[in-house]
Amino acid sequence: MVAACEKGNIVGFAGILPNGGELVSSISDGENKEWTYDYDFQDQDWIRVRTCDECFIAMSRDTYHKVGGFDQENFDGWHFYVVDLTLRAAQRHIPVVVVRANAWHRSHGKVDKSFDKYKDILRKKYKKEYFKIYYPCGWTYTNDIFFYVRDFLHNIRMRLKGER
């Protein structure tokens, strides 16, 4: 982790591949380690990703200043502040990586009303740069029409399954 930071990378324990592919992580997650991720690092010290999760983030002070720090004006709560930081890093050509880590994230996160609030802020902030934003626990369209159609269809599927 220190070596990755010294090379100017932003370092996380969980991230999503640049193409929106699989989750890159080797940590255990949940109150009782209900989930354990075992991404194949193939003898690499770290893997380049598009965005990282809020469970852990590290960087040098110099890198923090180059990326512009955290956007506390828009992301003054718990969700998406690292996704935002790592998207800005990509725009500034600052590498974002996930390192292999033997760590236990004792929470599986919490999707609440603020999750949707900050996801909406993220969508609007990057509407011109991205059509779709991938983050470690999902993805979202930035285009309002696609976003609301997907949400509408998701709600119908959930009702048909009897989950809502």
Query: How far apart (Å, rounded) are the C-alpha atoms in residues 25 and 120?
Result: 26
Domain ranges of the chain: 2-161
Domain 2-161: state its class. Answer: alpha beta
Handedness of CA 108, 126, 22, 82 (dihedral sign): negative
What is the reported pLDDT for 164? 59
Question: Position of tokens 């100017």?
Answer: 8
- Tens digits of residue pLDDT in 101-156: 888 888 766 777 889 999 999 999 999 999 999 999 889 999 988 888 988 888 88
Percent of the chain residues past pLDDT 70, beyond the cut: 98
User: What pLDDT digit, counting tens, does each position of 50-101 carry?
Assistant: 999 999 999 999 999 999 999 999 999 889 999 999 999 999 999 999 999 8
